[in-house]
Amino acid sequence: MTAPTRVAVLISGRGSNMRSLVAAAGDAYAIVLVASDKPDAAGLDWAREQGLPTFALSPRGIGKPAYEAALDAALHDAGTEVIALAGYMRLLSDSFVARWRGRIINIHPSLLPKYKGLDTHARAIAAGDAVAGCSVHVVTEELDGGTVLGQAEVPVLPDDTPDALATRVLAAEHRLYPAVLTRYARGLAHPG
């Protein structure tokens, strides 16, 4: 028997990827914390309604070092083993990434290494790409730059708008992220 890997999910907004991760929790991983840098994030309300432990703190006013120290403490208090970024829109500092090296993963709405950063769907359409998609990757100090753990592709359709493409990619994200996290968590499996 192995115990489920203890996963904290970091969000900044609606949290639809977080919901898909919660829905697929089970033998491979358990969600032990949902944390947000935006105390009014819609996804936080949903997590609270599910009875999940939550942590909400804005860096505004206290600064990034104090914010990250408090976040780090909350993650440790929850017994976190893996951090899953899910629409978390803040850059983690190099020292935070170093402390959790190899244990932070992220979902990005492009086929990395294409289109790191923002506006991925508009950039894919502008480039005339026939295929778009999403990637789950290990977080390193380089933005959207760590090892890719899994990808899913969707077609770019004629007359696609960024919003229409985003909707198609998001549906693929919701399938990809739980599948990759399950595999990743099993890879870290430890005796229970």
Nearest residue (beta carbon) to ligand GRF: 87
Residues that bind ligand GRF (CB under 6 A): 11, 13-17, 86-87, 107-109, 170, 173
Q: Which C-beta is closer to ligand GRF: that of 87 or that of 146? A: 87
Residue that has been written with the tokens 């440790």 in this structure: 76
For the chain, helix (H) and strand (E) counts, in that order, are 6, 7
Supply the minimum distance, in Å, between the C-beta of residue 85 and ligand GRF: 8
Supply the minimum distance, in Å, between the C-beta of residue 1 and ligand GRF: 32
Q: Strands 82-85, 131-138: parallel, antiparallel or unpaired by DSSP?
A: unpaired
**Angle of helix 16-23 relative to helix 42-49, nearest 10 degrees?**
20
Q: Which C-beta is closer to ligand GRF: that of 36 or that of 182? A: 36
Supply the minimum distance, in Å, between the C-beta of residue 75 and ligand GRF: 19
Q: In terms of Cα–Cα distance, which of 124, 126, 97, 125 is closest to 112?
A: 124
Q: Respond yes or no: is residue 190 known to be catalytic.
A: no
Which residues carry out catalysis? 108
